[in-house]
Amino acid sequence: MKFKILLLTIFLTKLLIAQDNNYSAILINKETKKPIFGASITLEKNIICISDETGKIEFKTNIKNNEKYVKITHLSYETDSILINKLNDKPRKIKLIEKFTNLDEIAIIAKLKLPKKEIIKNAVKQFQISSRDKPYWASINYKQTLNYNAVPQAYYEMNGHAFMIGKKTNMALDPILIPNQIRRTKENEKITNLWNVKKNVELLKVGHDIARMNLSSFSCFKSTHPLSKSGSKSFEFKINNIETIYNEECYVIDFKQNRTIHKKRYLFNMNGQLWVSKKDFTLKKLNVGFDFDKIDYNQIEINYETINEIIYPSKIYTERFRYKNFNDINISNFIIKSSVIFNKIDIKERDNYRKIYPPYMLGFLTSNIYHDDYWKNYPILDEQYKKDVIQIIGNQNWNLAFLDGANEVQYNQNSIIDKGIKLYKKQNLDLLNRMKKDLNIEN
């Protein structure tokens, strides 16, 4: 009898440990007492949620050690941490210190030779001069993991080309991704249901569609850039510091949105930092966070390189947190992490074919066949992505896992995608041939 009771006790204990516990809190500005939107909550290096417009954070975890800390980060606030056991169903208020108001700008400006107004004016002017205004080709590597409730669910990677095409100075408005080689894991039904809220599209694999849309987040931000002529009027600026990056001294400039920005899509709560060359005011790096259309929150880090006095993005890292529910489907806590590395930029000017080629169809014409011999030369070196893949695949052989991912059906027949491919097949093949000709690619 005692033995049975002991077994029952052990079973109930394990059951309780395995259960998800609910945790919540309200984040507020220490000075203004206003709620803080867009703060990332990290547990064991994984983002588990983002604070909403009311400042509320809410997540579940079955973590066994309540002595662990969750980390609270926001581009505009000092980083903070709190013991997980201090969070419970009844939200407590956590006060964060705003960097923007806490900054001793007067002391910093006193060390500079130029006043802040002159620095911002020169940076805006240089951004207009150095921004690319003609389409161009770039060879890229794109990596992406889809996460739900802090657990990696699927991995997608492509080596290929991007046709950076748009209008005016925004050459990221309608980028066209042309994969050469793809490796991806299987996508479970949960992921496709969470993303595929438009039932008539009927995507069965969402990796490439999300990759295309992730670059659209960057392009939407690009059109309202804080250094653009019109965009700069929507921000407050403060000089934060002087730092050396890429062997060059740079002004570190904090910026904060002070009015709603509308460029066909609404952007809210935009804030971040700029690194601008002290020598010639060229933009070197940018970190930004913003709410996109009240659908998802984006955090983007962009590194720039200068070629023939024109700036190009060289690396874009994005964390996209989708928090709005669609059609009664709960897609909160759905996080997309991605990085784009521009390996080679072809600076030759190309004609703008934006109205001829549909940017959203081309990826579906390319092969998803996984070639092990090719990818042997491209091991996953980034520790975060490597960790995610290990967690997704588990004990399965990597090659077999990527083969399974490649063999999954990508879209349903008679769906919008299927009809679109048939409708635009000639234009897409024309663009493929144009790419091969422009870049001297034989196959």
pLDDT at 409 over 60: yes
**13-17, 74-78, 210-214, range with the lowest pLDDT:** 13-17
pLDDT at 115 over 50: yes
- pLDDT tier at 15, thresholds 50, 70, 90: very low
Q: How far apart are CA 179 and CA 214, in angstroms?
A: 15
Domain ranges of the chain: 17-99, 116-438
pLDDT at 200 over 70: no
Higher pLDDT, 78 or 413: 78
> What mean pLDDT comes out for the span 153-171?
87
pLDDT at site 198: 56
Share of the chain above pLDDT 70, in %: 82
Quote the tokens at residue 85: 């056991």
**56-60, 62-66, 168-172, 422-426, range with the lowest pLDDT:** 62-66
Half-sphere exposure of 55 (CA within 13 A, CB side): 16
pLDDT at 11 over 80: no
Superfamily for the 17-99 domain = Immunoglobulins (2.60.40.10)
Q: How far apart are CA 199 and CA 327, in angstroms?
A: 10
pLDDT at site 12: 44
Residue 42: Cβ within 10 Å count: 17
Our separate counts of H helices and E strands in the chain read 10, 18
pLDDT at 43 over 90: no
pTM listed for this prediction: 0.85
pLDDT at site 109: 67
Q: How far apart are CA 219 and CA 170, in angstroms?
A: 7
Higher pLDDT, 404 or 354: 404
pLDDT in tens, 281-322: 999 999 998 887 777 788 899 999 999 999 999 999 998 887
pLDDT at site 65: 56
Report the relative pairing of strands 92-96 and 21-29 from DSSP bridges: parallel
Among 269, 243, 273, which Cα is nearest to 255's? 273
pLDDT in tens, 343-389: 999 999 898 887 787 766 676 666 678 999 999 999 999 998 999 99
pLDDT at 173 over 60: yes
Report the relative pairing of strands 77-83 and 56-61 from DSSP bridges: unpaired
pLDDT at site 126: 95
DSSP string of 289-304? EEEETTTEEEEEEEEE
Residue 280: Cβ within 10 Å count: 13
pLDDT at 168 over 90: no
DSSP string of 383-429? HHHHHHHHHHHTTS-HHHHHHHHHHS--B-TTSHHHHHHHHHHHHHH
pLDDT at site 10: 47
- pLDDT tier at 431, thresholds 50, 70, 90: confident
Query: Reduced to 3 states, what is the DSSP secondary structure of residue 45?
Result: coil
Q: How far apart are CA 170 and CA 156, in angstroms?
A: 26
- pLDDT tier at 326, thresholds 50, 70, 90: very low
- pLDDT tier at 181, thresholds 50, 70, 90: very high
Q: How far apart are CA 132 and CA 279, in angstroms?
A: 20
pLDDT at site 213: 76
pLDDT at 18 over 50: no
Rounded mean pLDDT of the chain?
Answer: 82
Query: Given its phi and psi angles, is residue 156 left (phi above 0), alpha (psi -120 to 50 degrees) or beta?
Result: beta
Q: How far apart are CA 98 and CA 440, in angstroms?
A: 52
Q: Tokens 């491209």 — which residue? A: 378
- pLDDT tier at 122, thresholds 50, 70, 90: very high
pLDDT at site 263: 59
Amino acid identity at 63: I
pLDDT at 331 over 70: no
pLDDT at 341 over 80: yes
pLDDT at site 14: 46
Sheet with strand 69-74: strands edge to edge: 46-50, 40-43, 69-74, 77-83
Q: Tokens 């769906």 — which residue? A: 415
* Angle, in degrees to the nearest 10, between helices 398-407 and 383-393: 80
